Structure 1
């Protein structure tokens, strides 16, 4: 019944509108009729306006204006920071752990805290990326602890060797990645690898030499030659030139010579192990003099023995 009445009312209104238009009266377009009826009821007292509606509307207008100005002026971050700090979410405590080589001052600088930064507006992901850019940092975890604390946990890289490249001395990790320049004698006990490619292949070669403890204890540096093979530089200045292949065989032979003949304690400059069928020894200048003197003495002794015969 209600639906029939509604259709009848709409039909009456359409008939009235058509009659009004036929008599030359002004008729509103269809899309303006409903707003016009609502406005007529509102100003005619047919609609009851809630109490304080004007106040709330004015407040909403000013709030919308302020939000618009904040967004257009790019002041959102400052407004959020000030509001959150006022509500008690300002960062007041920073806890750092796992930093043995990285200073806390550098970490705090990368966090970008200014005393008013709130925990709500603090971007942990950006801070993590900034801290990971520090030379000793291998990884970092940053956690927000409400209402006002930040916890930073670091995982640092470990220096494995000192790499000499030209005149530069750099600390490198096990993968051969440079960390920082060598400064002071703190890492003087680390293995010294020399030459291009030595930083990348040094770990495997140092572990190979470590299997021969009599030699490894006397090595001063591991030199990479043309990124093909290795030389061992010993504490007394002797250089042992190893072959490109079958390095373990050459090391075992050097260790045998050292154990039986103390070859590395002689007056020699180098020991060439690159050929399979021979060992080439280069003497020092004093060693050459001693050798020449020994040969002369041997020749004299042979001549004297010949005369006696």
Structure 2
């Protein structure tokens, strides 16, 4: 019996010591004695709203220093637009430090999300990413779309054209659209040589024909097919068109 009483006594003593500690750690008591007074938000970011970070964190630090759940804080900040990575730590006696990294977008996705330079799709506010190229294709092949754009972009920049969109079909066929609306079918496999050949000839094609180049099909071994549209409307400074101008149509070109 004495041994049982000793066990009970020790159990009660441990409980009396442990329960206050558990209560403090869970914020049940004494939260006002060790309040979290300072929040430091660090990192290089331009799109993330620091006020939104503070608003997300504030409800999670009301129960005092010891009761702050760092995982909850990390999840709350990670759920904000543009946030890629978050690190959170506590500094005694009253400081919470949040270090974050934001996504750097490289392209738009058809559903409104943006694609980061890390190859990750992330949600962004409506209208964000204006001016970025549009990528269309299977989500699992986003990195291939990035590689294709990186290949095609400098080829056309050197001739004064900009790649506005890149598409990868379910069958693996590549196509793109230039800033003047020209659609370019590059085909499957490795299209670099075909794109380079077409890009070199593009200035000459534009200079030699007043019509609008609508589509270029590069899926040929030694040449390509061009589809032309009507020439742009005449302006007051333009000379009058002479009879016999060629109508819109298709033209084949060779390398």
Using the size of structure 1 for normalisation, the TM-score is: 0.60
Match of residue 122 from structure 1: 68
Change (3 A) 1:219 1:67: same
Deviations 1:45-90 (A, max 9, x none): xxxxxxxxxxxxxxx99x869959x69xxx954686364435x411
Give the structure, 1 or 2, with the largest relative contact order (CA under 8 Å, sep 6 or more): 2
Change (3 A) 1:286 1:130: closer
- Calculate the aligned-residue CA RMSD, in Å: 3.8
Q: Which has the higher helix share?
A: 1
Match of residue 254 from structure 1: 198
1:191 aligns with 2:133: yes
Q: Tell which structure's C-alpha radius of gyration is larger.
A: 1
SS at the partner of 2:112?
Answer: strand
Deviations 1:250-283 (A, max 9, x none): 1121122213332796433211110113321223
Question: Is there any run of 5+ residues in structure 2 with no aligned partner, and where?
Answer: 3-8, 233-240, 248-255
Give the Cα–Cα distance (whole angstroms) in 2 for the partners of residues 91 and 280 of structure 1: 68
Match of residue 229 from structure 1: 173
Match of residue 282 from structure 1: 227
Give the Cα–Cα distance (whole angstroms) in 1 for the partners of residues 181 and 130 of structure 2: 18
Change (3 A) 1:265 1:193: farther
Aligned pairs for 1:138-287 within 5 A: 138-164=84-110, 168-181=111-124, 183-184=126-127, 186-197=128-139, 199-212=142-155, 213-214=157-158, 217-226=161-170, 228-262=172-206, 266-284=211-229
- 1:231–1:241 contact (8 Å) kept in structure 2: yes
Give the Cα–Cα distance (whole angstroms) in 1 for the partners of residues 25 and 125 of structure 2: 46
Give the Cα–Cα distance (whole angstroms) in 1 for the partners of residues 184 and 26 of structure 2: 68
TM-superposed CA distance for 1:200, in Å, is 3.5
- 2:60–2:68 contact (8 Å) kept in structure 1: no
- 1:272–1:281 contact (8 Å) kept in structure 2: yes
Q: Which has the higher strand share?
A: 2
Change (3 A) 1:195 1:285: farther
Using the size of structure 2 for normalisation, the TM-score is: 0.71
Aligned residues: 227
